Structure 1
Amino acid sequence: MSKLKIAIQKNGRLSEKSLELLKECGIKLSNGERKLKTTSSNFPVEILFLRDDDIPQYVEQGVADVGILGENEVWEKNKKVNLLKKLGFANCRLSIAIPKEENYTGLTFFNQKKVATSYPNILQNYFTQNQIEAEIETIGGSVEIAPGIGLADGIFDIVSTGSTLQMNGLKEVELVTKSEAVMISNTALNDEKKAILEQLLFRIESVKNASENKYILLNAPNSSIQSIASILPGMKSPTVLPLQKQDWSSIHSVVKEDEFWDVIDQLKTLGAEGILIINIEKMIA
């Protein structure tokens, strides 16, 4: 039977989160020592550990069938691949930064200036769209030190917390775009590999739905059931079970993580008591 070859970053936070996602999908990986590749003992996949900036090319060429990587690398390499799914982790922004002491006057500041980056294509597209004529210095790493050693007037790089910029005497002045982990695939998968990929995407969606929702149980007077049901529609409708206490019921439903606190306040106003919130491991719509 064919195995779906999945390329992920060989180390770092994105690699850890990618492996965690596969684990949450019930995929067991047989090689505990991370080398160049490992296989699953219970699902037809093989994991390839690669440099993140090589993944788009290897997926395009069919060396890997699927890749999990930052969306920024997909934009930068601009290879012929299918963008399958945004995964909701490894969120960051790509921004331009300059030395703290510089007086920033807007994008025209960069006319006739030099900017160092590992993402020259993304930056050039941005400057072109905004009619900025700047020189782009492409470097492979340690972008933050470029202004300090006189290599460039500013940098364009990934920013998560901004602490690295501060440590190097830089300030963020332009947010160019935001990025997160995505899944890409080769454009010519055979039917067998497409079937495996569909199974994997189904599992990922179930895990993603679970992470974005909470299971909620509460007790409420029967007079409030209709109002509560309008707040907590659940997947179809809430489950309502009668309590021994007369004119009261237990209501079970699902609530969105980002709506949780607003919903709780509304439920309390409607007389809800004994509210319990439980994490959902998997959620299949």
Structure 2
Amino acid sequence: MSYLRIAVQKSGRLNEDSMRILKDIGISIDNGKDQLKAAARDFPVEVFYLRNGDIPQYLRDGVVDAAIIGENVLIEKGSDLDFVERLGFSKCRVSIAVPKDSKANSLKDLEGKRIATSYPETVKQFLKKQNIDAQLHIINGSVEIAPNIGLADGICDIVSSGSTLFKNGLKEIEVLLKSEAVLAVSPQIDEERKQILEKIQFRIQSVLKARNSKYVLLNAPNNKLDKILDLLPGMRSPTVLPLAEEGWSSVHTVISKNDFWEMIDELKANGAEGILVCPIEKMVL
């Protein structure tokens, strides 16, 4: 029997998020400390723990069949590779930043200046599109220190919360791209392993839909039921059940996490009571 070989980042936040989603889709991994490969107990999957920057080449060579990888890394080192799913976690952006006291406030102000980065291909392509001529210094790690030691006038690096820029006295002046974890695929994956990947993708979609939704139960007076139902979304339509108390009904539905508070406010304003909100573990449509 074939095993799908899937790569994840060896350590860090992306590793933690990747292992969490694998667990949520029912794939349990037995891996010890510093183990570079581990098999799942209950699914035909082997997980490879690799350096993030090495994963695109492993995909290209067919050493692994799929990978959970930051889109920013795929753009930098694997622009020829495809991904089949955005995963909604490990979100960040690739940005250009300069010292807070710098007179540079836009990308144009870096014309002829020096930019330190770990993402030379991404920066090179972006500057070319913007018709900006700047000198790149390639640094692996600790890019933020470059302006402070006189190595560069600005930097280009990944930004999550912005706290690292703040601590190093830098300000963000340009966002090149926004990134999140994606499920990338090797161009050499065979049909048998592709079918395993499709099962994983289906499970991931169910988990992501659940993460972005809330299950809501509420009590509604029957004389206001039509208005309340008009407000509510649902996978098909809300479920309505009569309560023991005459003139009242119980309404069950699913609400998007993004619309949740606005929807709750409207429901209350239109007579809904006893609103109960529950998390959803999986959502299979």
TM bucket by the smaller chain? over 0.9
What residue in structure 2 maps to residue 177 of structure 1? Answer: 177
Which whole-Å deviations, capped at 9, do the CAs of 1:73-110 have from their partners, x for residues lacking one?
A: 01001343221111001111111111111112432221
What residue in structure 1 maps to residue 108 of structure 2? Answer: 108
| TM-score with structure 1 setting the length | 0.97
d(CA) in 2 for partners of 1:45, 1:34: 19
What residue in structure 2 maps to residue 135 of structure 1? Answer: 135
The correspondence of residues 66-215 of structure 1 with structure 2, limited to 5 A, is 66-215=66-215
Distance 1:19 1:34, change over 3 A: farther
- Counterpart amino acid of 2:120? P
SS of equivalent to 2:112: coil
- Counterpart amino acid of 1:25? I
d(CA) in 1 for partners of 2:124, 2:42: 45
SS of equivalent to 1:152: coil
Distance 1:105 1:213, change over 3 A: closer
What residue in structure 2 maps to residue 244 of structure 1? Answer: 244
d(CA) in 1 for partners of 2:252, 2:63: 47
What residue in structure 2 maps to residue 44 of structure 1? Answer: 44
Sequence identity, in percent?
A: 51
SS of equivalent to 1:203: helix
Name stretches of at least 5 consecutive residues in structure 2 with no aligned partner: none
**Displacement of 1:248:** 0.8
| Runs of 4+ with deviation above 3 angstroms | none
Distance 1:208 1:77, change over 3 A: same
d(CA) in 1 for partners of 2:249, 2:201: 38
Tell me if structure 2 keeps the 8 A contact 1:9–1:68.
yes
d(CA) in 2 for partners of 1:226, 1:32: 57
**Displacement of 1:276:** 0.1
Tell me if structure 2 keeps the 8 A contact 1:57–1:79.
no
Q: Which moved more, 1:26-35 or 1:230-239?
A: 26-35
Name stretches of at least 5 consecutive residues in structure 1 with no aligned partner: none
What residue in structure 2 maps to residue 60 of structure 1? Answer: 60
d(CA) in 2 for partners of 1:264, 1:152: 50
The alignment of Structure 1 onto Structure 2 pairs a total of residues equal to 285
d(CA) in 2 for partners of 1:170, 1:220: 53
d(CA) in 2 for partners of 1:100, 1:106: 13
| TM-score with structure 2 setting the length | 0.97
RMSD over aligned Cα atoms: 1.2
d(CA) in 1 for partners of 2:101, 2:83: 41
d(CA) in 1 for partners of 2:9, 2:78: 18
**Displacement of 1:118:** 0.3
**Displacement of 1:33:** 3.0
